[in-house]
Structure 1
Amino acid sequence: MQRLQAFKFELMPNGEQQRDMRRFAGSCRFVFNKALALQKANHEAGEKFIGYVAMARLLTGWRNGTETPWLKDSPVHPLQHALKDMERAYKNFFAKRAAFPRFKKRGQRDSFRYPDPKQIKLEQGNSRIFLPKLGWLRYRNSRDVLGAVRNATVSLSAGKWFVSIQTEREVEQPMPQATSAIGIDVGVARFATFSDGSYLAPLNSFRRHEARLRRYQHAMSRKTKFSNNWKKAKARVQRIHTRIGNARRDYLHKATHTISQNHAMVCIEDLQVRNMSRSAAGSTDQPGKNVRAKSGLNKSILDQGWFEFRRQLDYKLAWNGGWLIAVPPQNTSRTCSACGCISADNRLTQAKFACVECGFEEHADVVGAINTLARGHRVAACGEAVLSGPSVKQEPTEVTMRGRSHA
């Protein structure tokens, strides 16, 4: 089977290469925004969507024209790929997978991609990579790159440049080393509760750095925008965000690695995180209720990284020969795992579950994980469809002590 994998390294460019990379990223951002503005104007005029081929012809005119001749200083393939990114953003919007495409801002996720592997040269022994119009760049070689190079993406994050090298290689069809199946109930008080009764305590990376982040953001707001002091303050804020993201990503990688190694089948709830973390502010005519409490809950939900947790489980289980099953989340923590009684009264508090019919008592998250596993078995056996829609799973924020851990 074919395996796609990305390897990310920090680049060590010289001053001229840094200036070139900023210029290339700016050119790609300009092309994306210009194409998006053209698409919006075309749509407002009642015309059809402009496809990539037609856009690529326009790009040739932009590069050879008198208004934007500086586009010729950038490699053409990353500019063409910016058009493909814009087209993909529209397709995701039409398929209701994402919101309407937005214009890109300078300094936010600056990046560009080299899609042609023939133009990329990698020398792992010398820890350097060749990219068109940049030449050879040194990188921090932290691990071996496996497989044939397919593309390379250069990105800027918190003042540092990185290259992500995507490769493809043939691997044997994996066979799961484990034979067990487990259900997982994700939450805020407990990050992940397993059907065997164990659980992972939440990392709460954002909460740990929130006070410091707020202080630096407040200091940044007092600076004159785009001044040297403002840029220094912005760099401090970006470093904190990077530290928060790195800590969360490391936690999730360790947790998903252990789970995928120890279980052949993992069942989780098909949660709609966007709906669950939607603001309760409402409008001027219809103001929301408990806005402050809902805002705190939304912040805690997003701090957990449930979507990334599911994404990592999905591909890591596939790499180990296992599989991930997503099941409908409705009433998993309100259904008695002993007698099947469904009632909101079964869940007395966030943590306590007591069945009003048979008297069965257990931690509510454990009950949810057991029911998730049972639904997963039905999906695997009968192909039961996963119901999509807004989730009713909402929990108050609560701090618990660390319990037994899988990571």
Structure 2
Amino acid sequence: MLRRQPFKFRIEPTGEQQRKLRQFAGMTRFVFNKALALQQANREAGEKYIGYVPMAKQLTAWRNSDETPWLKEAPVHPLQHALKDLDRAYQNFFAKRADFPRFPKQIKLDQGNRRIFLPKLGWLRYRHSRPVRGTLKNVTVSLSACHWYVSIQTEREVASPLHASRLAVGIDLGVVRFATLWDGHKETVLEPLGSFARHQHRLARAQRQMARKNKFGRNWLKAKARVRRLHRQIGNARHDYLHKASHAISKSHALACVENLQVSNMSRSAKGSAEQPGRNVRQKTGLNRSILDQGWGEFRRQLDYKAQWAGGWLVAVPPQHTSQQCPECGHTDADNRQTQSLFLCVACGHSENADRVAARNIRERGLKTLEGQDDARFACEVNGAVRPSAAGTRRSDDAAKAA
């Protein structure tokens, strides 16, 4: 199978190279905004949307224009990618914005000397923490908290793996518990890291200090750098936790069943409008903060590709009533969940932890999704029965959307 894999390293550009990187980033934003203004003007005039190819020809005119001759100082590839980002933003209803420069061609990687060549920048040193494998496809340069990073995407053919495990696991994500896992035999609980909650007071203090400084002054820039470092620490800790958790699950289970959660809808603000103000705004704000602090969407994304790399599979199931349906008798009632942690079926009297009940139901729904598929490469052993495995089967619609 074809594996696309990024390798991200921190680079150490010289002062001149940093100046050029910032210039290229500014030129990329300029091209994006100029193209966006042109698209909006055409829309107001009643004309149809301009596609990427005509916009690329317009970019050539801008580079040769007397008004913006400095666009020639940047490589053409990051400017073209700005137009691609704009085209993608239109297709996704302005859900995304352009990022820092990308150099898809004219790049050289010298792993032995720990350096990479980028057009109009020359050779840049990077921290070579692991070998880069595969054919180099593109490079993304980004700036995060005063540090520059290079992400190298590669492609390579690898043998289709066969997962060594026969276990299927249901995963219930939450706030009190980050994840509750049930594999048919035992329960595993992953406690939440709470990366943002741990640094919330430090971050608030640093932001207050920055607000008291004269904007764009030397002290303001120092205070802003501290805020950026705290954000980087929060993000790094969260990503490290999610990578370790998703790696452990993908290695020990052939099939991972999760809920198809709409995190953006779940974390929507409750403020409302002036005419119709929301209710329990402060409580909903705290809940939204806790939900976003968990990183559910990133966890599902990591679990998806890691399961494929290990020969397993990820299946997303409907999340409705997973913690209100009795796993013993199948009765569904809102009164079944007495408290946040207690489940007590009003029909049969079955009592259990509510998160474990949800994990059991998620696992059962995932297995039912795969029933009837004949192209399974091996079977999952479930409570003594034989069920079709996820590995080698076709993706469900929800799992395909998550990829």
Code of the residue aligned with 1:72 in structure 2: it is: K
Measured against aligned partners, the alpha-carbon deviations of 1:76-126 in whole angstroms (never above 9, x if no partner) come to: 111111111111111122xxxxx4556x6xxxx6x100012xx11111010
1:46 maps to which residue?
46
Choose from 113, 117, 122 the match for 2:109. 122
Equivalent in the alignment of 2:85: 85
Which residue of structure 2 aligns with residue 288 of structure 1?
Answer: 278
Partner of 2:371, secondary structure, is helix
d(CA) in 2 for partners of 1:251, 1:12: 26
Aligned 8 A contact 1:81 1:115 in 2 = no
Question: In terms of mean alpha carbon deviation, does 207-216 or 45-54 score higher?
Answer: 45-54
SS at match of 1:113: coil
Whole-angstrom CA distance in 2 between matches of 1:148 and 1:244: 33
* Structure-1 residue corresponding to 2:190: 200
Residue type at the aligned position of 1:50: I
Question: In 1, distance between residues paired with 2:364 and 2:344?
Answer: 19
Q: TM-score, normalised by structure 1?
A: 0.90
Aligned partner of 1:381 in structure 2 is 371
Q: Identify unmatched segments of 5+ residues in structure 1.
A: 94-98, 389-407
CA distance, structure 2, for counterparts of residue 61 and residue 158 of structure 1:
35
Query: SS of 1:297's equivalent?
Result: helix
Q: For 1:178 and 1:205, locate their aligned partners in 2 and report how far apart those are by CA, in whole Å.
A: 32
Whether 1:273 aligns to 2:263 is yes
Distance 2:145 2:286 in 1: 26
Change (3 A) 1:120 1:371: same
**Contact residue 328 and residue 386 of structure 1 kept, 8 A:** no
Distance in 2 between residues matched to 1:46 and 1:209, nearest whole Å: 50
Q: Report what 2:390 is aligned to.
A: none
SS at match of 1:314: helix
In 2, are the aligned partners of 1:327 and 1:375 still within 8 Å (CA)?
yes
Q: Helix, strand or coil: the match of 2:92?
A: helix
Over 3 Å counting, the alpha-carbon distance change for 1:101 and 1:257 in structure 2 is closer
Q: Secondary structure at the match of 1:198?
A: strand
Q: What is the TM-score with the length of structure 2 in the denominator? A: 0.91
Structure 1 CA distance for aligned equivalents of residues 39 and 164 of structure 2 = 51
1:68 and 2:68 aligned = yes
Moved over 4 A (4+): 99-102, 382-388
Letter in 1 for 2:111: Q
2:244 is aligned with 1:254: yes
> Which amino acid counterpart does residue 307 of structure 1 have in structure 2?
G
Q: 2:297 aligns with which of 307, 313, 317?
A: 307
Q: Higher relative contact order by CA 8 Å / sep ≥ 6: 1 or 2?
A: 1
Q: Aligned AA for 2:156?
A: R
Listed as ranges, the gaps of 5+ residues in structure 2 are: 374-394
> Which residue identity is paired with 1:354?
L
Partner of 1:154: 141
Of all paired residues, the percent bearing the same amino acid is 63
- Distance in 2 (alpha carbons) for counterparts of 1:52 and 1:248: 36
Q: Which residue of 1 aligns with 2:57?
A: 57
Alignment of 1:159-198 (within 5 A): 159-195=146-182, 196-198=186-188
Would you say 1:131 and 2:118 are equivalent positions?
Answer: yes
Offset, 1:382: 5.0
* Equivalent pair of 1:260/1:317 in contact (CA under 8 Å): yes
Distance (whole Å) between structure 2 residues aligned to residue 167 and residue 3 of structure 1: 8
Does the 8 A contact of 2:259 with 2:317 survive in 1? yes
Deviation track 1:341-391 (CA, whole Å, cap 9, x = no partner) reads: 100100010000000011101110000000001100111115897689xxx
Once the two structures are superposed, residues 127-159 of structure 1 have per-residue CA deviations (whole angstroms, 9 ceiling, x without a partner) of: 000010000000011000000100111111101
Residue equivalent to 1:112: 101
CA contact (8 A) 1:128 1:139 kept: yes
Aligned residue pairs: how many? 375
Which of 331, 334, 349 is the equivalent residue of 1:341? 331
CA distance in 1 between counterparts of 2:196 and 2:288 reads 12
